[in-house]
Amino acid sequence: MVTVPVIYGPLIVPGYIGYREHAVVRGETLSAIALAHYGDSRLYRRVLRANPQLADPDVIVPGQVLRIPIGA
């Protein structure tokens, strides 16, 4: 698993203060995850950038744990 160093957090989310983990469930998409955590599905790129192990944003699997950057 590749971890995004904290130093890059502010480049992903303004006011970066950390991250939370999200376990993917069947049927979820990055857009749906962004909507749940940020209130805007268009912010899925934040999740993608924080999880460089995702080679294809359209391929996530149930049980996969993603880091969701948190801003102030």
Q: What is the DSSP string of 22-56?
A: EE--TT--HHHHHHHHHS-GGGHHHHHHH-TT-S-
Tens of pLDDT, residues 17-37: 888 999 999 999 999 999 999
As for how many domains the chain has, the answer is 1
* Residue 28 covered by a domain: yes
Position of tokens 């102030």?
72
* Residue 25 covered by a domain: yes
Prediction pTM value? 0.82
* Residue 1 covered by a domain: no
Q: What is the CATH number of the domain that holds 58?
A: 3.10.350.10
Q: Radius of gyration of the chain from Cα atoms?
A: 11
How far, in whole angstroms, is CA 23 from its chain's centroid? 11
Instruction: Provide the domain limits for residue 10.
Output: 6-71
Mean pLDDT of 25-50: 95
